[in-house]
Structure 1
Amino acid sequence: METSLRLPIELVLHVITCCLPGKDEILPPDHATTKTLVSFTLVCKETRRLATRYLREHCVYLNDDRRLRALLLLMPERPDLRKIHQLFLAPFDVDGSIDDQPTAIWVKELFNFTCLSLRRLVMDIPLRSVRPENDHLDVRRIMAEGFQRLESLEEFVSVQDELYLEAPHLGLDVPLWRGWPKLRRLALYNVDADDAFWAFVAAMPALETLVLTRADSLRDCNMKEEYRGNTDRPLKVLLVNIEDDQVRFGNMIRFNWDIVDEERKMTIMLYNVPGIYARVHPIEGCQRFVKAAAADGTLWDLQGEIVQHLPKIPHPNVAELP
């Protein structure tokens, strides 16, 4: 009579751990690792405990309203699900509109549950689809109240805009990310990088890296003068665009850089998105690239061509003049 051999549970748990991605990756539902972890939740109590933990750590990828709603329904009875450290959030139709009050309320409730634990957020939401004057369902205010609670956030990526939820008539006349004191890494799309923007950036006490995709006002603002005039903290700035639309050195205001940033504490780099993304529409290509790099955790490590200070032209010695 044949007897079946069972693998030690320690070995099975080790197999689960070996399936894990890098610590900064957020995996979508159709990823092979996500499916594997889901399968292990059905094997036994021990594998379910470990796989559930890893799903919470690496696979909170809410790319439709159905997944968001399902997670919220579980949270009151599952306190462990509130301890989410990183998530990808895209519950609205990315090609549609945020003019959907129930989903806006669910976003706010999600942040109410996770605000103490959430450290990293990648957001792909079409906030510009509803302007303040057309917000008849009050969705912008509802979501803004949720975002204001994310005071533990350390990394934030907005794929489609600059977190376009400011509404002066509601008392929201400063960027919402300005209220996140622990924020170390910030990525925004098509922000107006004017003098006021750099003043807000300089006021962020922990910010280390700033990624700006297809930003405006780069030719009109002396970035180093505005930033370094308000703070002495180091900062890495990555300007992302397709090569044809990238700002050129000669079009950037670089006066006084040797004076305001003599120690080169602020590094500004130009990064051209890879050709596979650049071949599609510039806006869509850049957004796809940032979304992918943010989800797999590589966005903050990107390096580009450093924008140099203006060359020094030596003054001739009066005694040497003819």
Structure 2
Amino acid sequence: MEQLKPIHLPLELVLNIITCSLPKANVLLAPSHPITQLLLSFTLVCKETCRVARRCLLQHCVYLSSEARLSSYLLTISTRPQYRTITALFLAPFGNTIDNQPTATWVRELFNYTCTTLKRLIIDIPLRSLYPEDDHLGVRRILHQGFKRLENLEELVSVRDELYLSLVDVVAGEPAFWTFFPKLRRLAVYNPDISPSFWRDISKMEKLETLVLTRADGIRSDSNFKTEYFAHCDRNLKVLLVNVDDDQVRYGNMRRHRWNNVDPKKKMTISTYTIPLFMDDDAIEVCQDYIRIGSEYGTLWDWEGEIIPHPPIIVQLVASGA
């Protein structure tokens, strides 16, 4: 029997296979994702496929979800400087607490390397697991120094908190940490305190277009987001309030409270996005998972909810004393 000769595909066709397998430009992929595995395989085929695959890996697959992955990436940077020029990053190197000085130092080192090019950052870090008064190793100061370098960020998602990087417990009037990122266009934070000072800080963000607030605190019946926001600026802003149904914001319908008087041109849209909760699911975990997945796949910023035409109120159910 005649032995079949191997067929060699033209290099152009092989490279086309790589580019056609890529996701949208704003998608970040975990190490276990099939596309990540495919790109890793192409780094072993030849020099040209290796070059293209590595470039794609840096664009879509810098997913540092453990201490080991973070340290390994830093070791790679020392020998391959091109790994410093990343534009997107998922970062979750800590476990249940940030009380880990070596890992915090690695985070600061990573940001020192990547701060000039990094534009999109998703963090899943328990910053509230260690409060300033308990921080005996100076971990929070190390992280504070690292994050403060990221002046070119355009998109930031903090899955677990409001980017809590304060160095002292309570400081009246202290601006939110994300105000250090003047180029932010998109911001998503978890459980922020929605107060007049919050909207004052938001008004400072001249580039901000979309704001996602998950399980926000301080949404009171007398709150008027638009009054507080437009007292400081006159820019367009999309606001999305994310929560499960039982905890979601409701809105009033009294004509005297309509927002049209404050914002007749509808420059700020405020809507609610309700996440389904099944059986005994934990509302916090479900909301955080939704935000993380939505931000990884780049769909978070396109979510549309129910427009709130009036200032929101909290609906409280009071059991009757039967």
TM-score using structure 2 length: 0.91
1:2: Cα distance to partner?
A: 4.8
CA displacement, residues 119-163 of structure 1 (integer Å, 9 cap, x when unaligned)? 100100000000011011111110011111101000000000000
Unaligned runs of 5+ in 1: 311-322
The match for 2:316 is none
The amino acid across from 1:123 in the alignment is I
CA displacement, residues 246-288 of structure 1 (integer Å, 9 cap, x when unaligned)? 0110399984633321111000000001346x86111111001
Give yes or no for contact 1:61–1:87 (8 Å, CA) kept in 2. yes
CA displacement, residues 169-195 of structure 1 (integer Å, 9 cap, x when unaligned)? 899932221011110000000000111
In 2, the alpha carbon distance for the partners of 1:147 and 1:252 equals 44
Superposition map of 1:4-19 within 5 A: 4-19=6-21
In 1, the alpha carbon distance for the partners of 2:280 and 2:31 equals 27
In 2, the alpha carbon distance for the partners of 1:299 and 1:181 equals 21
Residue 23 in 1 paired to residue 25 in 2?
Answer: yes
The match for 1:202 is 203
Higher mean Cα deviation, 51-60 or 218-227? 218-227
In 2, the alpha carbon distance for the partners of 1:251 and 1:74 equals 58
After superposition, the CA RMSD in angstroms is 2.1
Higher mean Cα deviation, 40-49 or 70-79? 70-79
The amino acid across from 1:137 in the alignment is L
The match for 1:313 is none
The alignment partner of 2:153 has SS state of: coil
The amino acid across from 1:98 in the alignment is I
The match for 1:130 is 130
Unaligned runs of 5+ in 2: 312-322
The amino acid across from 1:115 in the alignment is C
1:218: Cα distance to partner?
A: 1.2
User: Given the superposition, is the C-alpha separation of residues 6 and 63 from structure 1 closer, same or farther in structure 2, using an over 3 Å criterion?
Assistant: same
CA displacement, residues 28-47 of structure 1 (integer Å, 9 cap, x when unaligned)? 00000000100110111011
The match for 2:69 is 67
The amino acid across from 1:69 in the alignment is S
TM-score using structure 1 length: 0.91
The match for 2:102 is 102
**Of residues 17, 36, 40 in structure 1, which corresponds to 2:42?**
40
The match for 1:141 is 141
In 2, the alpha carbon distance for the partners of 1:65 and 1:7 equals 40
The match for 1:177 is 178
The amino acid across from 2:287 in the alignment is C
In 2, the alpha carbon distance for the partners of 1:31 and 1:149 equals 30
In 2, the alpha carbon distance for the partners of 1:254 and 1:209 equals 27
The amino acid across from 2:54 in the alignment is T
Residue 191 in 1 paired to residue 192 in 2?
Answer: yes
The match for 1:316 is none
1:228: Cα distance to partner?
A: 1.0
Q: 4+ residue stretches of structure 1 with deviation over 6 A?
A: 169-172, 251-254
CA displacement, residues 280-312 of structure 1 (integer Å, 9 cap, x when unaligned)? 1111110011011011100000000000037xx
Give yes or no for contact 2:242–2:274 (8 Å, CA) kept in 1. yes
Give yes or no for contact 1:166–1:174 (8 Å, CA) kept in 2. no
CA displacement, residues 35-92 of structure 1 (integer Å, 9 cap, x when unaligned)? 0100110111011000000000000010001010011111122111011110100000
The amino acid across from 2:121 in the alignment is L
User: Given the superposition, is the C-alpha separation of residues 253 and 16 from structure 1 closer, same or farther in structure 2, using an over 3 Å criterion?
Assistant: farther
User: Given the superposition, is the C-alpha separation of residues 279 and 170 from structure 1 closer, same or farther in structure 2, using an over 3 Å criterion?
Assistant: closer
Give yes or no for contact 1:41–1:48 (8 Å, CA) kept in 2. yes
The match for 1:121 is 121
The amino acid across from 2:106 in the alignment is W
The alignment partner of 1:92 has SS state of: coil
The alignment partner of 2:78 has SS state of: coil
In 2, the alpha carbon distance for the partners of 1:253 and 1:237 equals 22
% same residue: 54
The alignment partner of 2:174 has SS state of: coil
